[in-house]
Amino acid sequence: NSADNSEAPYPRWIRINALKTTIEDQLETTLAEFERATSVKAVRQRGSKKIFIDSNIPNLVAVSPGVDLSKSEAYKLGAIIFQDKASCFPAYLLDPLPEDGDIVDSCAAPGNKTTHVAAVLLSHLPEPDECSQTVHAFERNSGRAETLERMVHLAGSDTVTKLHPGQDFLKADPNSSAYKDVGALLLDPSCSGSGIVGRDDMPKLHLPVLKQSALGLSKKKQKYTKLPDPTKDTRKRKREGFDEDLDVMIDDDGMVSAIDTVDELNARLAALSKFQLELLLHAFKFPTARKITYSTCSIHGEENEKVVSKALQSSIAKERGWRLLKRTEQIRGLREWPIRGDVEDATGDIELAESCIRANKGDEHSTMGFFLAGFVRDEKAPDNTE
């Protein structure tokens, strides 16, 4: 409720949906009464009504936490989308261009990144109406696929999106003619959700859209997690914080995770990382693919650098010439982003860690905890069409 919102120390991140509006228009309308701040920190002041225009991600702003824009026309029309800054990293890094052909979003619901990918893709075209590229959006859970469909429609990205509701990406045949032009894949698999800020205001915004039944939650489990105070804890202490009586989390992406004990967390991390690696190796098999992003909202190395490292060592990666997108090759806003992968989690591989991107929960950047890595295959790499 709004009383909780006014207490929230985090700003609200808002992605301006370029498919429906422009940042200039929104600054003059929906956001007209906000005072311009020069840092995200200034926006966090309680009782303020400020706006900060992000310097890393285009079309992204942060507004003061107590202000509720969920009733605004712009929100209802899909012109503005509540999306954490870090959650905007993958589509921006993937940067689908006209020459990249079709795009796959392997784990799409509720569709924040699908709609962002569509917006970036169309921003590169002089005539967006004439886009011949397709964003294939897979969502295994059919309830959540309905939410995805609604979001894709609301955001105005349905013309370029092909939904694959109830379809497991791992069962999609990379050699099928349907995917012969897939040049870029965005992988944002289910994860432990340990990077999510444990606060009430973000999930509540999505609850009217998401059906509880679609989330697969029993009535008893419909409550939010009590996470350690994100502003005080070090990353290590946050990890240790998981032996608290953690129950169910619903993140801003509508994801659910239930963790009760450290043993359960470890078992869950093992299962999740196995699935995450499998997903990445499957993506490597798409014959014309040249770019992949892999992301999680987890702070655990097991789901992040370690998955990346195993993927790079796989025979399929070597065979097809997949490598990490180096920091120096990354799009400006992420090349300049200061928080990189964890060297320890990258088992001492400094280069690997530097190529990876992280965001920390509870630091001065006001983001959720997040991880992202980009993979590329160079033009000279062996073409894997058989």
Q: How far is the CB of 286 from ligand SAM (least distance, A)?
A: 14
Which residue lies nearer to ligand SAM by CB, 82 or 169?
169
Q: Which of 146, 149, 253, 342 touches ligand SAM by CB under 6 A?
A: 253
155 known ligand binder:
no
Within residues 66-125, the interface with ligand SAM by CB under 6 A covers 87, 106-113
Stretch that binds ligand SAM, among 65-73, 139-147, 227-235, 358-366 (CB under 6 A): 139-147
- The answer to whether the annotation marks 131 as part of a ligand binding site is no
- C-alpha distances (whole Å) from 173 to each of 44, 169, 248, 283, 284 are 47, 9, 34, 10, 12
- Give the helix ranges, DSSP H, for the chain: 2-7, 23-28, 40-43, 73-76, 89-94, 112-123, 142-154, 201-206, 235-240, 262-284, 305-313, 315-320, 332-335, 350-355
Is 108 marked as binding a ligand? yes
3-state secondary structure of 302: helix
Q: Which has the closest alpha carbon to 83: 8, 160, 11, 161?
A: 11
Query: Shortest gap between Cβ of 138 and ligand SAM (angstroms)?
Result: 4
Chain position whose Cβ is nearest to ligand SAM:
107
b/e map of 66-96 (b: 16 or more CB within 10 Å)? bbebbebebbeebbbbbbbbbbbbbbbbbbb
Was 245 annotated as part of a binding site? no
From 88, 131, 191, 297, active-site residue:
297
By CB under 6 A, tell whether 255 contacts ligand SAM: yes
Beta carbon of residue 255, minimum distance to ligand SAM (angstroms, whole number): 5
Residues 6+ apart with CB under 8 A from 5: 65, 66, 68, 201
Question: In the annotation, is 297 catalytic?
Answer: yes
In the region spanning residues 269 to 308, those forming contacts with ligand SAM, defined by CB under 6 A, are none
Please give the residues from 165 up to 194 whose contact with ligand SAM meets the rule CB under 6 A.
168-170, 188-190
Query: Residue ranges for the binding site?
Result: 107-113, 139, 188
Residues that bind ligand SAM (CB under 6 A): 87, 106-113, 138-141, 144, 168-170, 188-190, 253, 255
Q: Which residues are catalytic?
A: 297
